[in-house]
Structure 1
C-alpha cells in the first residue's frame, strides 16, 4: 500500500478509545508528536480534537475499535469531513510487541496506533460514511445470533431435564421436534411427564384436537412413550413441571422473535441487488445472505474470487520451512461470521443442490471427512458467489463453470 504522505495526509491522529474517555495522539508524517491528551466521550470534545488536528492540515483519524465505544469518534469524524480508519486490535498488539518498553497505558496505546499507521499503512481498514441500512442489518443479524445461542441453551436444558425424568419421552423429541410449536404448546399447557400423567390421555387428546391444527401425530407419540415408563424419578413433580413450562414458553417466544427478525432483515435487504442475487443460490437463506452482504459490503471490494475466499478464511494456510516442513493447514483466520454463513449454506446445499452434493461426495471419495468436504464445497461456492454478484446474473441450475479451485 502507498505511504500515507503520498495520499495527501500531513498528520495522523491515533485514538485509543474507551468507554468514558479516549486518549488522542497527533503526529506528523515524520513521527514527531504534535499534541496528545485525554478526550471525553462526547461530541463537543471530539470536535475540538479534530479541529485542533485540522489546523496542521489534512488528517487521518485512526481508532482501534470501529464498533461500540468507537462508533461516536468515527461518526463525528465523518460529520466533519475527516478521513478515518480502524487499526485491528491484533495488528496493534503485534506492533506493540515489536516496540521497546512494556508499559500499557492509554497514552502509550494511542502513540502505538499512530506509529503503526505510519509504518504499516497496509494494516489499516479505511472506513467511509456508514450506510444506515447495512448498519441496521448488522445489528439485527447480531441480535439474531444472540437469540440463536439462547435458543440452543434453552433447548439443551429442556432436553437434559426430560432425559433425566423420562428417557423414552426425550427420544421421541429427537432433532428439532423438541423446539416445534406443537411440543412447546403441549409442554406449556401440561408441563413434563408428571403433568401429562395427571391430565391423562383423554384430556390431553381433547385439548390437542381443539387447539392444535397441525402436528397431531407428535402428541400421540409422546403419550405412547409416556406409557412406557410407570416409575417416576425423584425429581419429577410440580416444580419440574413449572420449569418445563417456563422453558417451553421461552423457546417458543425466542423462536417467534427470531422469525420476526428474519422477516425484518428480508424487508430491509430486499432492495439490495446483491442480496437478491445471492438469495437465488441454493442453500442461501435470509440469514446467511444477510451475513454475506454485510460482511463484504460490495463485491467490488474484492478483485477476484480468491480474495473473497481468503477474506472468509476458506483458503488453506501454507506451512513451509526449508525442505523438511511443507503442508497446507486449515486457515483459522478470516471473517468468522462470513465463514460460518458460507459453511452453513454449503451444508444446506448438499441437500438441495445436486451439483453441490456431487462435489461434496467427490471430496468424501478423496478421503476428506465431513467437515473438510463441506469447507471445500464452501470454498468452491465462493467462486460461484463471486461470479454471480460480479456479473449480475441470477443463479441458474445449468451454472457450470470454471469454478473449481486451483
Structure 2
C-alpha cells in the first residue's frame, strides 16, 4: 500500500503567504496565513513535520511562484531537505474552478495542495537550478528595460542635438550611442562651446574622451586620425557656432548633459550585467545555447530564465505550446483552423523568432528548410514560423541533454524521421547511402528537406498550403 501524502500548498505573496495542508482525499489539516519572515516559516515547517508524523504521511510541498516571492520559502525548505514540487499555474486555475468563484490566498493554496496530492510524482522538483533560472530571468528583463530606456533617451538626444547643432552633429560621429560620442556632447552640448579651440587642442580632447580606443590605428597614426576628425567637426559646425547663446539654448545644453549622463550610466550597467552573465551565471547552468548561430548572452539568458526547468515539459510539443511556436487549433463542424497561439510566454516566443531569423541567415540547414517552405507556396512569415518551431525542438533537445549544437546530428535526425515517417516521398529516396550522406555536415539535399518539411508540418499541427 503506498504511503499517504501530506500535501502542503503555498501561495507566496509580498507580505503574507497562504498555506494549506491537505490529506487524501481532500481533508484540510492546516490552514493559515504566515508572515514573510524566515523564523515564522521555519516554525510552520516544524509544525507540519509533526503533523506528517502524526498521520504517518510523507511531507511534500507545492509552490506555484517559486522564482519570485517564493524564493524565501525555497531557501528554508531546501536547507531542511524537504520535497518541493513546482505547480503549473494552469492546473491550479482549473482546480480553483472546482472550488467556485471565491478568490483568496487560502483558496489558491488549497488548489496548489490538491494538485500536489494528485500529481506529486509527475511534478518537477524545485532545485537550486530554479533559483539560478529566476536570477537569469530577472537579469534578462533588466537588460530589456535598459535597452528600452536607452532607445528613448537616444531619440530625445537626437531631437535636442538637431535643434542645437542642426544636422551637422551627424557628421561628427558615426554612431551617437558610442561612449566617446556621448562624452563629447556631454562636454560640448552646444556648438558655441567649440569656439576658441584649435584643431590640435580638439584632437587632444578627443583622445582623452576616447580613452585611447579610436579603432585599429597604430600609435603614430592616431594623431593624424584625430586631427582629421577634429578638423571635420570644426568645419561642419562653423556656421552654427556663429549664432549667439540664448537662455533657451543654455537650458537645452543642461538637458543634453543629463541625457548623456543617463546613457553613459545605462551603458555601464549593461556591460556589467553582460559580464556577470557571461563569466559567472551562464557557465553555472551547464548549457551551451550560445553555440547556436545568432544566440548572444542576452538571448541565452532570456531562454534559460523564461524556460526554467526543462523537465516540467513532458515533450517538445508541450514546450512549443508554452513558447508559442506551435499553432493553436480551432476546429468545429469538421473544419480545421489554425491560428497563432496567444496564451504563451511572449518573451520566449520573441526569442524563438529572433533565433529563427538568425538561423535563416547563417545556418545552411535552416536556410534550405526555409527555401523549401517557400517553394511549397508558403509566405515568408509562414516559413519563418516553421523555422521557429524547428528551433524550439532544437532548444528543447539541447536543454535536456546539456550538449552544444551539432548540425550533423540534426541532419541525421532529419534523415531518420524521413525514413520512418514518409519513406519514398519527395525527390530522392532514402537508402543507406543517402542516410549516411545526410549525417555529414553540408550534404543535405533540397528534395529531402522538402519531404521533411511536409512531414514535420503535419506532425506539428501546421496547416498544409493549397495546390
- TM-score with structure 2 setting the length: 0.69
Residue of 228, 249, 273 corresponding to 2:261: 249
Q: Does the C-alpha gap of structure 1 residues 137 and 11 become closer, same or farther in structure 2, counting only changes over 3 Å?
A: same
Verify: 1:81 aligned to 2:92, yes or no.
no
Q: Which runs of 5+ in 2 are unaligned?
A: 216-225, 415-451, 458-467
Question: 2:192 touches 2:245 (CA, 8 Å); kept in 1?
Answer: no
Q: Is the CA contact 1:275–1:290 (under 8 Å) kept in the aligned structure 2?
A: no
- Contact persistence 1:133–1:268 (CA under 8 A): no
- Determine if contact 1:172/1:225 at 8 Å carries over to the other structure: yes
- Equivalent pairs counted in the alignment come to 394
Match of 1:328 in 2: 338
CA RMSD between the two structures: 4.1
- Aligned partner of residue 128 in structure 2, secondary structure: coil
Max Rg structure = 2
* Structure 2 residue aligned with 1:149: 148
Counterpart Cα distance in 2 of 1:65 and 1:312: 19
- Distance across 2 between alignment mates of 1:17 and 1:301: 20
Aligned to 1:381: 391
Which residue of the partner structure matches residue 309 of structure 1? Answer: 320
Bigger mean CA deviation after superposition, 58-67 or 127-136: 127-136
1:259 aligns with 2:259: no
Moved more, 249-258 or 156-165: 156-165
Give distance in 2, aligned partners of 1:263 and 1:232.
45
Residue 106 of structure 1 and its aligned partner are, at CA, apart by 2.9
Unmatched 5+ stretches in structure 1: none
Q: How does 1:1-400 map to 2 (within 5 A)?
A: 8-54=3-49, 55-56=51-52, 57-89=57-89, 91-100=91-100, 102-118=101-117, 121=119, 126-131=124-129, 134=133, 136-163=135-162, 168-169=167-168, 177-191=175-189, 193-195=190-192, 202=199, 204=202, 207-208=205-206, 211-212=209-210, 213-214=213-214, 226=237, 237-269=249-281, 271=283, 274-276=286-288, 278-296=289-307, 305-324=316-335, 326-357=336-367, 359-360=369-370, 366=377, 368-369=379-380, 372-386=382-396, 390=401, 392=403, 394-395=405-406, 400=411
Alpha-carbon distance between aligned partners in 2 of 1:363 and 1:45, rounded to the nearest angstrom: 59
Change beyond 3 A, Cα 1:351–1:246 = farther
Q: How high is the TM-score relative to the length of structure 1?
A: 0.78
> How far has the Cα of 1:281 moved from its partner?
2.0
Paired residues of 2:355 and 2:391 also in contact (CA < 8 A): no
Per-residue CA distance 1:149-171 (angstroms, 9 max, x = gap): 33233223323434555663576
Distance in 1, matches of 2:301 and 2:83, equals 27
- SS of the aligned residue for 1:12 comes to strand
